[in-house]
């Protein structure tokens, strides 16, 4: 070993460590050869003090090795490791029994120590219990494969690891840099539940509001709520790789539908009623099972699939798409000299798929089809008076007992104008 000082420059040293003489070389050299501990260092040093603070350090140079030929260590006491875990009540209420595979590795490193062992007792593992001698490095494997835990009699998981260390440990030929090692490290390798024997259970999940039809079908789209949409919305529930009688109950905004395992129910009429009333679709799912067995390959699936069709039919009466009034009071001053008028469209784009009827006038005096191409509507003289005011009512209707197809991203864009035909011509005489 090398004893170094700071704050003093050594000039000479004399003394012994056991029977070994001390010497001076970059510090005080303390030879360990043949030393039996305990041993005392006796030294007389001289030097020049060059600081008001003196400190020292003791190092083993990298090119030096100290080997303990033989030593005894006493007073090591390692307490047992005790693990106890009660089976939670919710587990017992959920299942009668469980089959599980559990694998744990106890990696150990017992270097330069002999006579060490460990005793393992547990109600968890079928293999690995007992006493194991620990020498060098290795692994104790604790294993249970498809072990049945019957919760009618099995109340808690227990395991006790008890190390045994000699009261006096003898070590020989140990490099002081390497020292002694006594390490045990657990590692979970596998935990797999292969089978669960269920008690009868009821699970409920409130999924809340899925969609609000009142927010979707409003304003210009409110008329869709008055159509017969003939929605298909299939609910299915399946359990595979298991013997568990089960039923799913869906609460769709207050209406309950029971779906036995392996069946399909169409709840389209419920959704159509929600659309018609502009109500939100709220969903609560309740799963009820009888006693049965689940395996690691069990798959429980429940689904609700519906699509909003882009085709529909009308009821026994016309369906109003839009209504309002239009100002045609400009016709009032010239109605007496108009033979007839024609309602034309400077802009006409109907890509909605709707075949609608346009009614104009207090009693629908003007009636025409709004189809794919722009119509021209002739207003005879006897009807001109009915539409010559500030608030001429109009309606766009889908005829009763008809089938329509709506186009995705369709638009209805029109810009009408009125062309008039005069009864008489005005003569203009030009003078000389």
pLDDT of the residue at 364: 83
Are 302 and 316 members of one domain?
Answer: no
> Does the N-terminal peptide bond of residue 38 adopt cis geometry, omega within 30 degrees of 0?
yes
Structural domain ending residue among the three candidates 271, 286, 309: 309
294 and 380 within one domain: no
More confident site: 45 or 295: 45
**Residue bearing tokens 């494997």:** 141
Q: Same domain for 207 and 163?
A: no
Do residues 283 and 335 both lie within one domain? no
Same-domain status, 326 and 385: yes
pLDDT over threshold 70, residue 248? yes
**Looking at the domain assignment, is residue 326 inside a domain?**
yes
Name the more confident of 426 and 213. 213
pLDDT, position 421: 61
Share of the chain above pLDDT 90, in %: 16
What is the pLDDT at residue 160?
93
Based on the domain organization, do 129 and 23 belong to the same domain?
A: no
Q: Once rounded to an integer, what is the mean pLDDT over residues 413-430? A: 57
Q: What is the pLDDT of residues 182-203, one digit of tens each?
A: 788 889 899 988 888 888 888 8
Q: Do 324 and 291 share a structural domain?
A: no
**How confident is the prediction for the chain on average, in pLDDT?**
82
Give the domain-ending residue among 264, 289, 309.
Answer: 309
Regarding whether 177 and 227 lie in a shared domain, the answer is no
Q: What is the pLDDT of residue 149?
A: 93
Q: What pLDDT, on the 0 to 100 scale, is given for residue 275?
A: 86
Does 431 score more than 60 pLDDT?
A: no
Single residue among 64, 92, 109 that ends a domain in this structure: 64
Across 75-89, average pLDDT: 85
Q: Is 191 in the same domain as 217?
A: no
Most confident of 59-68, 240-249, 258-267, 417-426: 258-267
The predicted structure's pLDDT at residue 405: 67
- Residue 308 pLDDT class (50, 70, 90 cuts): low
The number of folded domains in the chain is 4
| Range 102-127 average pLDDT | 90
Confidence of residue 81 (pLDDT cuts 50, 70, 90): confident
**pLDDT (tens digit per residue) in 290-304:** 888 878 788 877 777
Least reliable range by pLDDT among 98-107, 228-237, 282-291, 300-309: 300-309
Higher pLDDT, 123 or 221: 123
Cα→Cα distances 134→104, 113, 128, 162, 182, Å: 17, 9, 14, 13, 9
Domain limits for position 147: 81-197
Evaluate whether residue 275 is within a structural domain.
Answer: yes
Q: What is the mean pLDDT of residues 346-367?
A: 79
Question: How high is the pLDDT of residue 147?
Answer: 93
* pLDDT of amino acid 429: 43
Q: Are residues 150 and 192 in the same domain?
A: yes
Mean pLDDT over 3-29 rounds to: 89
The predicted structure's pLDDT at residue 70: 78
Residue 69 falls within a domain, yes or no? no
417 confidence band (pLDDT: 50, 70, 90): low
41 and 18 in contact (C-beta within 8 Å)? Answer: no
Assess whether pLDDT exceeds 70 at residue 424.
no
Q: Is residue 73 part of a domain?
A: no
pLDDT, residue 409, reads 62
- Residue 213's pLDDT is what? 85
Residue 15 clears pLDDT 70, i.e. is over it: yes
Q: Please report whether residue 42 resides in a domain.
A: yes
Model pLDDT, residue 425: 44
Indicate whether 358 and 305 sit together in one domain.
Answer: no
As a whole number of angstroms, the distance between CA 358 and CA 335 comes to 22
Q: Is residue 10 part of a domain?
A: yes
Read off the pLDDT of each residue in 246-251 and give the average, rounded to a whole number.
87
Residues 207 and 302 in one domain: yes
Residue 322 belongs to some domain of the structure: yes
Higher per-residue pLDDT: 131 or 344: 131
Which tokens go with 201? 């259970």
pLDDT > 70 in the chain, percent: 91
Rounded-to-integer distance, Cα 283 and Cα 279, Å: 13
**Is 287 within the bounds of a domain?**
yes
Q: What are phi and psi of 93, to 5 degrees?
A: -70, -25
pLDDT band at 420 (very low <50, low <70, confident <90, very high): low
Domain with residue 376: its CATH number is 2.60.120
User: What per-residue confidence (pLDDT) applies to 427?
Assistant: 43
150 or 60, which is more confident: 150
pLDDT score at 406:
64
Whether pLDDT at 422 is above 70: no
């Amino acid at each position: 070993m090398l004893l170094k000082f700071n704050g003093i420059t050594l000039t000479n040293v004399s003394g012994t460590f056991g029977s070994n003489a001390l010497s001076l070389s970059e510090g005080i050299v303390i030879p360990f050869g043949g030393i039996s501990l305990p041993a005392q260092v006796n030294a007389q040093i001289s030097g020049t003090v060059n600081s008001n603070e003196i400190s020292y350090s003791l190092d083993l140079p990298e090119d030096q090795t100290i080997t303990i030929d033989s030593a005894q260590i006493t007073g090591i006491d390692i307490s047992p490791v005790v693990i106890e875990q009660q089976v939670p009540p919710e587990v017992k209420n959920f299942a009668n029994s469980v089959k599980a595979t559990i694998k744990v590795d106890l990696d150990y490193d017992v270097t330069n120590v002999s006579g060490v062992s460990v005793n393992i007792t547990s109600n968890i593992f079928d293999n690995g219990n007992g006493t194991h001698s620990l020498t060098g490095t290795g692994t104790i494997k604790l294993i249970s494969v498809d072990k049945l835990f019957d919760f009618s009699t099995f109340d808690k998981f227990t395991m006790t690891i008890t190390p045994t260390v000699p009261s006096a440990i003898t070590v020989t030929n140990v490099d002081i840099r390497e020292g002694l090692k006594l390490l045990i490290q657990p590692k979970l390798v596998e935990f797999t539940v292969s089978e669960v024997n269920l008690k009868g259970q009821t699970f409920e999940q409130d999924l809340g509001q899925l969609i609000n039809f009142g927010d979707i079908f409003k304003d210009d789209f409110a008329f869709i709520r008055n159509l017969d949409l003939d929605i298909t919305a299939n609910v299915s529930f399946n359990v595979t790789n298991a013997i568990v009688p089960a039923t799913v109950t869906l609460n769709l905004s207050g209406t309950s539908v029971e779906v036995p395992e392996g069946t399909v129910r169409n709840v389209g009429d419920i959704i159509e009623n929600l659309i018609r009333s502009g109500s939100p679709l709220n969903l609560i799912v309740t799963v009820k099972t009888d006693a049965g067995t689940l395996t690691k390959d069990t798959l429980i699936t429940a689904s609700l699939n519906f699509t909003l069709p882009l085709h529909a039919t009308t009821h026994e009466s016309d369906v109003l798409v839009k209504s309002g009034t239009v100002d045609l009071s400009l016709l009032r001053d010239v109605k007496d000299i108009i033979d007839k008028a024609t309602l034309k469209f400077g802009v006409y784009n109907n890509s909605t798929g709707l075949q609608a009827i346009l009614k104009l006038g207090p009693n629908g005096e003007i009636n025409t089809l709004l189809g794919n191409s722009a119509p021209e509507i002739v207003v005879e003289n006897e009807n001109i008076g009915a539409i010559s005011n500030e608030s001429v009512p109009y309606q766009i209707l889908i005829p009763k007992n008809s089938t329509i197809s709506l186009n995705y991203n369709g638009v209805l864009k029109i810009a009408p104008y009125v062309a008039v035909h005069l009864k008489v011509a005005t003569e203009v005489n030009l003078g000389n």
